[in-house]
Amino acid sequence: MNLPPNALWIDQDDYDVRGFSHGLYIDGRWRPSSDGRVIGVVDPSSGSVIAAVPDATLDDALAAVDAAAKAATAWRETAPRKRSEILRRCFELMVERSETLAMLISLENGKALRDARGEVAYAAEFFRWNAEEAVRITGEFGTAPSGTNRIVVDYEPIGICVLITPWNFPAAMATRKIAPALAAGCTVILKPASETPLTAYALAALYSEAGVPAGVVNVLTTTSPGPLTSAMLADPRVRKLSFTGSTGVGRTLLGEAAKHVVSCSMELGGNAPFVVFDDADLDAALDGAMIAKMRNAGEACTAANRIYVQSGIHDAFADGLRERMAALKVGPGMSADTECGPMITRKAVDKIDRLVKDAVGRGAKVLCGGSIPEEEGFFYPPTVLSQVSPDADMAHEEIFGPVAPITRFETEAEAIMHANNTEYGLAAYIYTRDVGRGLRVASRIEAGMIGLNRGLMSDPAAPFGGVKQSGLGREGGQHHGIAEFMEAKYIAVTF
Ligand code: NAP
């Protein structure tokens, strides 16, 4: 296999990442942090450290802004067709290297290989989609109502972008931002999550190989994300912050960006309701629930966090879900037959345990799972709870794990009331054979995305994003995603 110089590489036989060179990726070069400190990367299946990446300092962050600024003019003036072809090449290389990338994701994040393969395919699609979008950016032209002049509207790249991503989709959350930003003509600095930096660096090497010029994409890891982000946002050359992560950190960053009136896109936390009506196709609803709950072992912002089931179908659904969840094979993500890998950290396992104990303390019944296993690694078993009180903490907080809490309801109005009883509004799922009811309920649920008789909605061709405290703006979709990285310029013309 032909590897670019300095690429991170995992050996397909023993998955050993030690010894492969990697560093901060700034101005097309790999470098250590300016004070030489590193961050350990942990395999969640065993709890052991498998690699180390540099811990960037303020100087490193400002060097990344300098590099992005230096590359900005040439990149925005690169012909859209050329930018498109480079993005297309990124897509092709990701597809060619998909198995290796999937293993790397699985290794550092812990997710089952089958989930990691799905993530790579999804992540690569953002390059294909935005390669197509790059040559379709159009403006507007019209006559002013007064008739005195023409109105020309041009769309320009917004400028240097700071991109911050979480650990749960280390490839896709990065490409969902990088691909539209590059298509729009922007240069970027990516700060991936400290838990999963290896995928971000491996992809940086791949972009370079695909022809992305030095300085257009810069990647840095740090244990001081707050101070470094503040410093980058304070630099007047930085015009955009695109963040995916928790609502709490999103709020803090909105405050930081407000100080300098920096444009923000925010993809934040979720608390998705999964509503099953009596007339639903039971098997389809169970299949959908398994996808909506268990993709990524429940570590997804769109994960079904609260399952509301109407009385007439409740017992059959609860029984079916228990059977399917209990049958899942739990194990290290890298094992071929694993269906549910470990959680990202011990802290995440402890949070899930706290939420389950709280629900049980308020009367929930454990149908399967429900306690931390005694083995190394950060595992939590697939768990189904019934009779979960609407007051339980897990009805209001993201579980972010393989726990399916079921609550019974009687009427459509009650289901809608439960669904909207949250500060979040990212995703929701509805199962019913009555399409009229499905669309009516969809229009009343406060969420940016609805799966109607579907347990999966993520698609680069559709606008992804939330309402309420789940976020601001959209990623993907026809011109939605790219528009986040552009500014309209109005030119009044007399001729
Ligand atoms: P997080 O704690 O908010 O961290 C997300 C990113 O922000 C990481 O890179 C983190 O760096 C960085 N960060 C933390 N504090 C910061 C600060 N003060 N200033 C600047 N950056 C800071 O979230 P997470 O635990 O990684 O991810 C899970 C959350 O993301 C969940 O709430 C999930 O719902 C949400 N999410 C949302 C979407 C969506 O599309 N809406 C998609 C995926 C995930 P460190 O890793 O170094 O701490």
Show the domain range for 289: 272-459
What does the alpha-carbon distance between residue 466 and residue 272 come to, in Å, rounded to a whole number? 11
Is residue 466 included in any domain, yes or no?
no
For ligand 1, is residue 167 a contact (CB within 6 Å)? yes
For ligand 1, is residue 225 a contact (CB within 6 Å)? yes
Q: Per residue of the chain (495 residues), what is the pLDDT tens digit?
A: 333 344 444 443 444 454 444 689 999 999 999 999 999 999 999 999 888 899 999 999 999 999 999 999 999 999 999 999 999 999 999 999 999 999 999 999 999 999 999 999 999 999 999 999 999 999 999 999 999 999 999 999 999 999 999 999 999 999 999 999 999 999 999 999 999 999 999 999 999 999 999 999 999 999 999 999 999 999 999 999 999 999 999 999 999 999 999 999 999 999 999 999 999 999 999 999 999 999 999 999 999 999 999 999 999 999 999 999 999 999 999 999 999 999 999 999 999 999 999 999 999 999 999 999 998 999 999 999 999 999 999 999 999 999 999 999 999 999 999 999 999 999 999 999 999 999 999 999 999 999 999 999 999 999 999 999 999 999 999 889 999 999 999 999 998
Residues 253 and 286 in one domain: no
CB 160 within 8 A of CB 237: yes
Catalytic, out of 256, 267, 299, 398: 267
CATH code: domain of residue 242? 3.40.605.10
Is residue 83 included in any domain, yes or no?
yes
For ligand 1, is residue 303 a contact (CB within 6 Å)? no
What is the rounded end-to-end Cα distance, in angstroms, of the chain? 60
Residues 433 and 484 in one domain: no
Tell me how many domains the chain contains: 2
Give the Å distance between the CA of 168 and the centre of ligand 1. Answer: 9
**Nearest Cα to 60, choosing from 229, 202, 193, 185?**
229
> Which ligand 1 atom is nearest residue 192's CA?
9
Give the Å distance between the CA of 244 and the centre of ligand 1. Answer: 6
Task: Please give the structure tokens belonging to residue 299.
Answer: 């570590």
For ligand 1, is residue 245 a contact (CB within 6 Å)? yes
Is residue 447 included in any domain, yes or no?
yes
Longest CA–CA separation in the chain, Å: 78
Residues 209 and 326 in one domain: no
For ligand 1, is residue 425 a contact (CB within 6 Å)? no
How many residues belong to the chain? Answer: 495
Residues 235 and 307 in one domain: no
Residue with tokens 């509503």: 275
Residues 252 and 278 in one domain: no
Residues 171 and 183 in one domain: yes
For ligand 1, is residue 342 a contact (CB within 6 Å)? no
Residues 259 and 333 in one domain: no
Residues 209 and 313 in one domain: no
Residues 483 and 415 in one domain: no
Residues 293 and 180 in one domain: no
Residues 248 and 286 in one domain: no
What does the alpha-carbon distance between residue 354 and residue 370 come to, in Å, rounded to a whole number? 11
Sequence-separated (6 or more) residues with CB below 8 Å from residue 48 = 42
Nearest protein Cα to ligand 1, atom 6: 166
Is residue 103 included in any domain, yes or no?
yes
Give the Å distance between the CA of 270 and the centre of ligand 1. Answer: 12
Pocket test for ligand 1, best of 53, 266, 301, 343 (most atoms within 8 A of CB): 301
What does the alpha-carbon distance between residue 185 and residue 191 come to, in Å, rounded to a whole number? 19
For ligand 1, is residue 348 a contact (CB within 6 Å)? no
Q: What global pTM score does this model have?
A: 0.96
Give a three-class secondary structure readout of the chain.
CCCCCCCCCCCCCCCCCCCCCCCEEECCEEECCCCCCEEEEEECCCCEEEEEEECCCHHHHHHHHHHHHHHHHHHHHCCHHHHHHHHHHHHHHHHHCHHHHHHHHHHHHCCCHHHHHHHHHHHHHHHHHHHHHHCCCCCEEEECCCCCCEEEEEEEECCEEEEECCCCCCCHHHHHHHHHHHHHCCCEEEECCCCCHHHHHHHHHHHHHHCCCCCCEEECCCCCHHHHHHHHHHCCCEEEEEEECCHHHHHHHHHHHHHHCCEEEEECCCCEEEEECCCCCHHHHHHHHHHHHHHHHHCCCCCEEEEEEEHHHHHHHHHHHHHHHHCCCECCCCCCCCCECCCCCHHHHHHHHHHHHHHHHCCCEEEECCCCCCCCCCCCCCEEEECCCCCCHHHCCCCCCCEEEEEEECCHHHHHHHHHCCCCCCEEEEECCCHHHHHHHHHHCCCCEEEECCCCCCCCCCCECCCHHHEECCECCCCHHHHCCEEEEEEEECC
Q: CB-based burial of residue 376 (10 Å sphere; 0-12 exposed, 13-18 middle, 19+ buried)? A: exposed
Residues 261 and 280 in one domain: no
Catalytic: 133? Answer: no
Is residue 464 included in any domain, yes or no?
no
Nearest protein Cα to ligand 1, atom 10: 193
CATH code: domain of residue 379? 3.40.309.10
Give the Å distance between the CA of 480 and the centre of ligand 1. Answer: 22
CB 51 within 8 A of CB 21: no
Pocket test for ligand 1, best of 249, 256, 346 (most atoms within 8 A of CB): 249
Is residue 2 included in any domain, yes or no?
no
Is residue 203 included in any domain, yes or no?
yes
> Which ligand 1 atom is nearest residue 223's CA?
47
Is residue 416 included in any domain, yes or no?
yes
For ligand 1, is residue 344 a contact (CB within 6 Å)? no
